[in-house]
Amino acid sequence: MDVNETIRCACRLHSEPLSEEPLDAIIKRYEGPDLVKKMHEPAADLDFGTKFIRKHEEFIPLGSNFPSVEINGGRLRCCHNLRKGTSASAEKEQLFVLLHGLGGNMEQFEPLMRLLDSEDKKFVAIDLPGFGKSDEWANYLMDNVVKAVHHTVILLFSMYQSYSKLTMVGHSAGCYILIHFLTNYQNSFQFGKCVLLAPPKRTVDVLSKENHLIQFGLKAISKIPWILDIYRERFDQNKGLASSGISRFFYRDGDITNKYRKLWQFHNNIQIKSRSLWNYLLGWQEINWSKVDSTLTTVSIVIMCGANDVVTPLSNAQDMLKCFTNAQDKNLIVIPECGHNLTFDYPELFLANFSQAVLSN
C-alpha cells in the first residue's frame, strides 16, 4: 500500500463507530434541536467512540507515590500501540508522544494515531489530567502536568519496551507542555523531532503571575466554576455546531466525514469541565526561552499551523519558530484551508505533510 492510500485509510471512518451505525445515519440522528441533550444520551458514547481507540485504550495509574503532595494518585487515560510486537530493536525504535491542548483530549489525534500504527510506528497519546476520561486534580500546576506525562512514559517503558528516541507532538497549549518536558528531561531521553501543531504565543503575558488583577480574577472565578458552566451551556453550546468550540476550530465544510468529526468534537466539548479549564490557566507556567535556546541544540523543530486558524494564528507560529535559534533544523508548514484542529479539519492534507516532514526525514 502506497503512502497516499495509507493516509486515505487512516482518515476513513466508515465502520469505525462503536455503534456500528453508518456515518450518514449518525449525522441524521443529531440533526435538529436539542443537540446537547442528545449528546448526553448513552447512545452518543457509542456513536462517537471508535473501534481503534477502544482497542488501544489503557488507563495508567499515577499512584499514591506520584511526586506531588497536591495530587492524590488518580489515573490518566492513554491510547497506545505498544502491545504490538516490534519489527526492530529498541535501539532503533522511536516513540511518538502526543499531547493535546487546553480543553482537548487524545481522540483528536485519531487520524495521526492510525497513520502511525499503519506505518508500524509506536505511539502514545494521553488525556491530560482533568480532560477526556482522565481523573481530575485539585489544581493543575503545569510542572506537575509535565511530571504526569513523564511518569506515564516511564511506566509504559517498564510495562512494554523502552525506546531509544522520543518524538514529541503537541497541539496548541500542549506545545507548552511539550517544551517544558523537553527542557526538564533533556538528559533522560534522546529526542528526535519536536512537532508543534497550532502553537500559542511564545509568551502568554496575560497569564503572567505578575499580572495580579488577572490572577485575582482567575482565583475568584475558580471558586465558582458553575458560572462558566451556565455561560457555556446556555449561551454557547446551545448553538450546536455554530458554537465557538466548533466554529473557531474548523474552517472547512468538508464531506460527510468532516461533519461527523465536528459532531465528534462537539460531543467531547460538552464533557469539558469549566473548573479544569480555569485551574489550568491558574497553573500556567511560562517557558524559559533562554534555557530552551541553550539546551535544545540537537532537536529538529517542525511547526505546523492552519492558514485559517483564528485561535492561534500563523503569526504565533512564525514568532515561536524564531525562538529556536540553536535547533538542529527547523521548518514551518502552513496547511491551506484549515483551522485550529488540524487533525480533524483537514486530516488528509495534514497527514500528507506530517508524513513528508516527520516520518520521511
SS3 196: strand
Collapsing DSSP states into helix, strand and coil, what is residue 347?
Answer: helix
Spot the catalytic one: 134, 172, 274, 355: 172
**Going by C-beta distance under 8 Å and a sequence separation of 6 or more, which residues neighbour residue 132?**
77, 100, 104, 105, 106, 107, 268, 271
Describe the chain by its helix, strand, coil percentages, rounded to 5. 45, 15, 40
171 bridge partner residues:
197
Query: Could you tell me which residues come within 8 angstroms of residue 96 by beta carbon, excluding any fewer than 6 positions away?
Result: 116, 121, 122, 123, 124, 166, 167, 168, 169
Residues 6+ apart with CB under 8 A from 358: 167, 193, 195, 302
**300 labelled catalytic:** no
d(CA 206, CA 213): 10
The catalytic residues are 172
